[in-house]
Amino acid sequence: MKIGILGSGTWGTALANMLANMHHKVVVYGKFAAEIDYLNENRIHKNLPGCELNKEILFTTDISKACLNQEVIIFAVPSVFIRQTAINAKEFINKDQIIVTVAKGIEENTLFSMSEILEDVLGKDIKVVALSGPTHAEEVAIGQPTLIVSSCSDIEIAKVIQKAFSNEVLRVYTNTDIKAVELCGALKNIIALAAGMSDGMGFGDNAKAAIITRGLTEITRLGLAYGGKETTFYGLAGIGDIVVTATSLHSRNHNAGVLLGKGVCLEETLKQVGMVVEGINALVSAKQLAKKLNVEMPIVNAVYSVIYEGKKPLVAVSELFDRKQISE
């Protein structure tokens, strides 16, 4: 299968390597010439230790090469760049191609998911799949066992991606609840920030378990109001992705939370992490969506108050404990 990947970051490159090793013909588009030249010449990515990239992958700064004549086009840029990337690629994309998004976020103000942004730019007749789940790029790149969800409102399109991506170490499930799958992918990053803050403040496993559990409750509550199916939130895209993102050393969201919990300022935190922290990008839109749907999200609000309102993490924790007592 001919596959174009838009985005030469860790996830886009890890997917490219896996797919090329499966003998798919893969072209990866990246914006920065120096990075693309380095990838072509050295076959290593700075954020994928231990991974030697397949020599058959073509890295390019020409977006048309990653779109024209491809059967599948994967959008693997950070969520804040999805719309502009789609605008740049639009003239090279047609309705017969399958569009896959692996970005996780909600667009501010429009409150569009990534698939909705792609439909808004590329047209309602395109076929969009959200590929999501507990998938650290660092592990996928070196062939560690991983499970993921291919979600599309058209189950047959989801199955095409399931078949194309499945191998001896990647097991792909299908799902038609794309709105809920994408919402999970966006909001779990915020819960991971909260779990990281807990670690940064020196709290233990009890606190982290509580954050993960109650965080899932918040996401499910919002997701049901959003039109999702409850079972999705207890699957790979929901609890699976929350667990891996909230507990792993690979998680940039968790790592950012640790720094913030230790009192490091936001600017320095982002500098030290050195990669896009999607949970921070998702906070504003998450609050907007919760307000629109009249859903209470105390953990999300607490993380927002620390990052955007300058509240001390310990104060935010104290306020969470001071909330009215309720039943689970």
Using DSSP's 3-state secondary structure scheme, residue 133 falls into coil
Q: Are residues 81 and 195 in the same domain?
A: no
> What tens digit of pLDDT does each residue of 171-188 get?
999 999 999 999 999 999
End-to-end CA distance of the chain: 48
Catalytic residue among 104, 127, 179, 188: 188
Q: Are residues 73 and 164 in the same domain?
A: yes
User: Sign (positive/negative) of CA torsion 295, 252, 27, 159?
Assistant: negative
Q: What is the pLDDT of residue 169?
A: 96
Q: Are residues 26 and 77 in the same domain?
A: yes
Q: Are residues 148 and 192 in the same domain?
A: no
In a domain, residue 181? The reply is no
Exposed (0-12), middle (13-18) or buried (19+): which is 89, by Cβ within 10 Å?
buried
Q: What is the pLDDT of residue 241?
A: 96
Q: What is the pLDDT of residue 276?
A: 87
Q: Are residues 251 and 278 in the same domain?
A: yes
Q: What is the DSSP string of 267-298?
A: HHHHHHH-S--HHHHHHHHHHHHHHHHT---H
Using DSSP's 3-state secondary structure scheme, residue 74 falls into strand
The domain in which residue 217 lies consists of 187-321
Distance between CA 105 and CA 113 in Å, rounded?
7
Q: What is the pLDDT of residue 77?
A: 97
In a domain, residue 6? The reply is yes
> What tens digit of pLDDT does each residue of 5-37 get?
999 999 999 999 999 999 999 999 999 999 999
CATH of the domain at 46: 3.40.50.720
Looking at the 3D structure of the chain, how many domains does it have? Answer: 2
Q: Which two tokens stand for residue 270?
A: 């982002």
Bridge partner residues of 171 (DSSP): 147
CATH of the domain at 310: 1.10.1040.10
What single DSSP character describes residue 90?
G
Considering the chain, what is the average pLDDT of its residues?
96
Distance between CA 67 and CA 28 in Å, rounded?
10
Query: Which residue, of 176, 208, 242, is where some domain finishes?
Result: 176
Using DSSP's 3-state secondary structure scheme, residue 299 falls into helix
Query: Which residue, of 152, 176, 200, is where some domain finishes?
Result: 176
Residue 249 pLDDT greater than 90, yes or no? no
Distance between CA 116 and CA 128 in Å, rounded?
9
Q: Are residues 193 and 160 in the same domain?
A: no
Q: What is the pLDDT of residue 275?
A: 87
Determine phi and psi for 226, rounding to 5 degrees: -80, -15
Q: What is the pLDDT of residue 222?
A: 97
Q: What is the pTM of this model?
A: 0.94
Query: Which residue, of 127, 147, 176, is where some domain finishes?
Result: 176
Residue 250 pLDDT greater than 90, yes or no? no
> What tens digit of pLDDT does each residue of 106-122 get?
999 999 999 999 999 99
Q: What percent of the chain has pLDDT over 70?
A: 100
Smallest CA-to-CA distance from 28 within 52, 62, 51 is with 62
Longest dimension (CA), the chain: 60
Average confidence (pLDDT) over 267-290: 93
Average confidence (pLDDT) over 46-50: 92
Q: Are residues 201 and 69 in the same domain?
A: no
In a domain, residue 327? The reply is no
Active site residue 312: no
Residue whose tokens read 């969470």: 320
What single DSSP character describes residue 92?
G
